[in-house]
């Protein structure tokens, strides 16, 4: 069975690594860049040991954004805030498996709001927990660091996990995209695409570079070559 992806992955720079004092210009300069989505990390200081930003900041970013906003909720009881995030401009809403005892209901709620529904897995959570819900999902976010902070080191086991998830999705008839989040750079992005990743989130690698727009263009170019190479190998 061919488990390789035919297209270059979507790129989702994480605004967690942007300059918060200049979110308007940070958002605007990504317009027309190789960014397909803008990744927006919400942290509550409970599910993860850090607090980032929330609904009013999303509203502000959305006013200046050209790309769809990919909201990653690292919060407890996300079910209470789904419609508020949708109203503030979320195109995708991803909740954590570990934060949702009634995950099926939460996923249906997100879809009823008209958003793409995603589920994120912490590094220790096996992909098999999604077996009975895979067909309902639009997105699975594989955390390649422990969530809560930008700038952490990529966990190498993620490659094996992405490949296992790809197989699970194919077997379940699911068209969910596989997103990888944390420590992504051009050191590991090619291998992630080969393993089956469809969406790459990158914070520090993009925003800590001298020219984030050029870095995104370089990622797009190199990963398109990886995807094209896979096509040729078949
Ligand atoms: C981590 C966040 C990530 C983070 C990625 O908890 O979910 O989206 O912004 O940042 P880097 O690419 O710096 O690891
Ligand atoms: Zn994230």
Q: Please, which residues have CB less than 5 A from ligand 2, an ion?
A: 41, 72, 181
pLDDT, residue 85, reads 99
Residue 2 in domain: no
Q: How many domains does the chain have?
A: 1
- Closest-CA residue, ligand 1 atom 3, reads 182
What would the mean pLDDT of 188-216 be, rounded to a whole number? 98
What would the mean pLDDT of 157-163 be, rounded to a whole number? 98
Residue 5 in domain: no
Q: Is the pLDDT of residue 2 over 50?
A: no
Q: Whole-prediction pTM value?
A: 0.96
Residue 104 in domain: yes
For ligand 2, the distance from its centroid to the CA atom of residue 1, given in whole angstroms, is 31
pLDDT, residue 3, reads 42
pLDDT digits (tens, 9 = 90+) for 124-152: 999 999 999 999 999 999 999 999 999 99
**Cα 51 from Cα 48, distance rounded (Å):** 8
List Cα–Cα distances, 232 to 2, 5, 90, 188, in angstroms: 13, 12, 37, 21
Residue 146 in domain: yes
- Closest-CA residue, ligand 1 atom 4, reads 150
Active site members = 41, 181
Beta strand ranges found along the chain (DSSP E):
10-13, 38-43, 69-74, 90-96, 116-121, 139-143, 177-181, 199-202
- Please give all residues whose beta carbon lies within 6 A of any atom in ligand 1, as ranges: 14, 16-17, 39, 41, 72, 145, 147-152, 181-184, 201-205
First to last CA, the chain: 11
Per the structure, the complete domain to which residue 147 belongs is given by 10-233
Q: Is the pLDDT of residue 218 over 60?
A: yes
Residue 1 in domain: no
Residue 3 in domain: no
Residue 166 in domain: yes
Which CATH number does the domain housing residue 98 bear? 3.20.20.70
Residue 182 in domain: yes
């Amino acid at each position: 069975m061919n488990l390789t992806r035919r297209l270059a992955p979507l790129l989702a720079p994480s605004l967690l690594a942007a300059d918060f004092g200049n979110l308007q210009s940070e958002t605007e300069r990504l317009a027309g860049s190789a960014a397909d989505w803008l990744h927006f990390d919400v942290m509550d200081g409970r599910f993860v040991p850090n607090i980032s930003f929330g609904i009013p900041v999303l509203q502000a970013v959305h006013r200046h954004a050209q790309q769809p906003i990919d909201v990653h909720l690292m919060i407890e009881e996300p079910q209470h805030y789904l419609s508020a995030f949708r109203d503030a401009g979320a195109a995708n809403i991803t909740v954590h498996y570990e934060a949702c005892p009634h995950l099926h209901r939460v996923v249906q709620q997100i879809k009823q709001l008209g958003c793409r529904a995603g589920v994120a897995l912490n590094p220790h959570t096996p992909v098999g927990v999604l077996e009975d819900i895979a067909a309902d999902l639009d997105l699975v976010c594989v955390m390649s660091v422990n969530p809560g902070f930008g700038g952490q080191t990529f966990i190498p086991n993620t490659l094996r996990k992405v490949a296992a998830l790809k197989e699970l999705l194919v077997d379940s008839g699911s068209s969910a995209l596989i997103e990888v989040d944390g420590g992504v750079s051009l050191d590991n992005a090619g291998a992630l695409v080969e393993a089956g990743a469809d969406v790459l989130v990158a914070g520090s690698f993009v925003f800590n570079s001298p020219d984030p727009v050029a870095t995104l263009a370089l990622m797009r170019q190199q990963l398109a070559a990886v995807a094209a190479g896979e096509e040729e190998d078949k």
